[in-house]
């Protein structure tokens, strides 16, 4: 049985990002109820050498959006990293989901052996499509979604496994 690259990517990204949006909504409600300035939580981090919450969300959305587009062989929208509120981050997540919903299975299926190249902070990288999806995209999206969840949980937001899994 062959794998559907589309089914293994786009719906998975959409689910993770929608769950992240729900977690973020709980963070916003918590901040609002306790009159905590958004920037306090958005700039929180788990450890000093880790990115803050806002950057975790930016990277999760960038990875899903750019990765799916690279597999599809299409251009993707680039977002400025200028969000300073929960509302702006929620809009970024929803815009990313809306973009992902425009991609069709025929654009991505069959990309298993396609060479995908991208620029990292330090170099140009290349991988075959299936390895790119399973060894780069999925782990990165999950890492940054999980870290965003953990930052909010660490700061007292009442979220749990069900919020993360979307059940």
Average pLDDT, the chain: 96
What is the CA angle 49-53-56, rounded to 5? 80
d(CA 151, CA 134): 25
Q: Are 100 and 13 in contact (CB under 8 A)?
A: yes
Reduced to 3 states (helix: H, G, I; strand: E, B; else coil), residue 52 is: coil
* The predicted structure's pLDDT at residue 30: 96
* The predicted structure's pLDDT at residue 84: 96
| The pLDDT of residue 31 is above 90 | yes
Q: What is the mean pLDDT of residues 73-96?
A: 97
pLDDT level of residue 121 (50, 70, 90 thresholds): confident
pLDDT level of residue 1 (50, 70, 90 thresholds): low
Q: Which CATH class is domain 10-165?
A: mainly alpha
Q: Over pLDDT 90: what percentage of the chain?
A: 96
Q: What is the mean pLDDT of residues 3-15?
A: 96
Mind listing the pLDDT tens digit for each residue in 37-84? 999 999 999 999 999 999 999 999 999 999 999 999 999 999 999 999
CB-CB neighbours of 116 under 10 Å: 20
| The pLDDT of residue 167 is above 90 | no
* The predicted structure's pLDDT at residue 98: 98
Q: Are 112 and 5 in contact (CB under 8 A)?
A: yes
Mind listing the pLDDT tens digit for each residue in 132-165? 999 999 999 999 999 999 999 999 999 999 999 9
d(CA 106, CA 92): 26
* The predicted structure's pLDDT at residue 76: 96
What is the CA angle 91-94-99, rounded to 5? 125
């Amino acid at each position: 049985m062959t794998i559907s690259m589309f089914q293994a990517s786009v719906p998975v990204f959409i689910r993770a990002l929608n769950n992240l949006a729900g977690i973020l909504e709980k963070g916003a409600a918590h901040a609002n109820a306790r009159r905590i300035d958004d920037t306090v939580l958005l700039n929180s981090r788990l450890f000093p050498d880790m990115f803050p919450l806002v950057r975790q969300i930016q990277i999760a959305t960038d990875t899903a959006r750019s990765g799916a587009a690279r597999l599809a062989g299409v251009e993707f929208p680039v977002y400025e990293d200028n969000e300073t509120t929960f509302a702006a981050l929620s809009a970024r997540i929803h815009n990313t989901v809306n973009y992902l919903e425009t991609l069709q299975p025929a654009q991505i299926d069959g990309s298993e052996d396609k060479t995908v190249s991208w620029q990292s902070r330090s170099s140009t990288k290349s991988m075959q499509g299936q390895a790119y999806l399973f060894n780069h995209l999925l782990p990165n999206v999950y890492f940054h979604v999980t870290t965003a969840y953990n930052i909010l949980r660490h700061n007292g937001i009442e979220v749990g496994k069900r919020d993360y899994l979307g059940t």
